[in-house]
Structure 1
Amino acid sequence: MKTQNWLLLTYKVPPEPAKKRIGLWRKLKGMGAIYLQNGVCLLPKTDDHTRRLKIIENEINEMASDSVLLETVALDKAQEDKVVARFKADRDEEYAEFIDKCDDFDAEIAKETAANHFTYAELEENDVDLKKLQTWLEKIRKLDFYGATRAAEAQQRLQNCEALLDAYAQRVFEAHDENR
């Protein structure tokens, strides 16, 4: 078995100003870190994560706070599986939220179709919404280090949204005699 190495960051920052503490939390979550408890987070060891965590460690020190950055491994396979499961669970939560937004997108297209509202303005608005979904899924994928269970479902839902918008666009073009 190949051992998975992780980077473990522990830190303690003052509660005020909250803006700095929240900013730190957002950066770490934005990298895909999981929190084992308050002020203790974990990321897979990569050169990029090492570099970024060293920058964050420096920021923590500039807050007149304390941090320790370590490389670590799980004690055994069961512990490693537990950590990987936490990473997958975090991504699955994000995929679930993404899928909910795909449902909203589908409902919006259905509403406009039922109302025979085939305008370029509506098409443009829905195109912007689709681009947001595409960008969002790409961000989640970048943080999906271990292949969360809902990744394929999220990809399929995005493809459905793309097909739905293509069909709606065709109706808009037909309504404006673009293809005749």
Structure 2
Amino acid sequence: MQALNWLLLTYKVPSEPTTKRIALWRRIKGMGAVYLQNGVCLLPKTEDHARRLKMMENDIAKMGGDCVILETVALDRAQEEKVVARFKADRDDQYREFLGRCADFEAEIAKEVAIQKFTYAELEEEDTDLKKLQGWFAKIRKLDFYGAALAEEAAQRLEGCEALLDAYARQVFEAHDENR
């Protein structure tokens, strides 16, 4: 089995202003990086990640900070598995939160069906919420470099939400046909 290559970013930035430091942390996490400790993180080696980290190097310098970007591999298979497990755990945390939002979506549809609120305005609102779920899932999936355990459950749950909205839409359309 071929070793996985990663990009290692180590950086140090001034503690003030905190907004810039936090924005940098968010950008790095938004790329799907795992932090090994403060100011030390890993990403899978890709052209896109290398390019983005090089651009970030410039931003860090503008903040009065310093960074080093290295290509690295794990010392052995056990170390590699630890790193991959960290990536998977981060994605599973995101999938868990996503699954909670799916449950909220399902509960909202169930509430509207229970009170028979079959309006186009409500359907539009639920459609907007579903689009948010779809976009969020796509973002998580894009950062799921190693196939987190909850990925398939999240995909199935999203499909269930889509089917639920389709069924609700049919009820809305039927209710409006009866009114004509």
TM-score interval, smaller chain: over 0.9
Letter in 1 for 2:50: T
Using the alignment, how far apart are the partners of 1:91 and 1:60 within structure 2?
Answer: 26
Aligned positions of 1:126-145 closer than 5 A: 126-145=126-145
Amino acid at match of 1:173: F
Q: Please state how far the C-alpha of 1:64 moved relative to its aligned partner.
A: 1.4
| Matching of residue 16 in structure 1 with residue 19 in structure 2 | no
Question: Which residue is equivalent to 2:125?
Answer: 125
Q: How far 1:146 sits from its partner (Å)? A: 0.2
Query: Which string of whole-angstrom CA distances, capped at 9 and with x for unpartnered residues, describes residues 88-131 of structure 1?
Result: 00000000000000000000000000001000000000000000
Q: Matches of residues 1-180 of structure 1 in structure 2 within 5 Å?
A: 1-177=1-177
Q: Which runs of 5+ in 1 are unaligned?
A: none
**1:62 to partner: Cα distance:** 1.2
- For normalisation by structure 2, the TM-score amounts to 0.98
Whole-Å separation in 2 of the counterparts to 1:42 and 1:58: 18
The CA distance in 2 between the partners of 1:71 and 1:62, in whole Å, is 23
Q: How many residue pairs are counted as aligned between the two chains?
A: 179
Instruction: Give a deviation string over 1:8-52, Cα, whole Å, max 9, x none.
Output: 000011110001100100100000000000000000000000000
Identity of aligned residues (%): 73
Question: Which amino acid in the other structure matches residue 167 of structure 1?
Answer: A
Residue 11 of structure 1 aligns with an amino acid whose one-letter code is: Y
| Poorly superposed stretches of 4+, deviation over 4 Å | none
- The answer for unaligned runs of 5 or more in structure 2 is none
Q: CA deviation at 1:63?
A: 1.2
- State the shift of 1:58 in Å: 1.0
Deviation at 1:66, TM superposition (A): 1.1
Counterpart residue identity of residue 151, structure 2: A
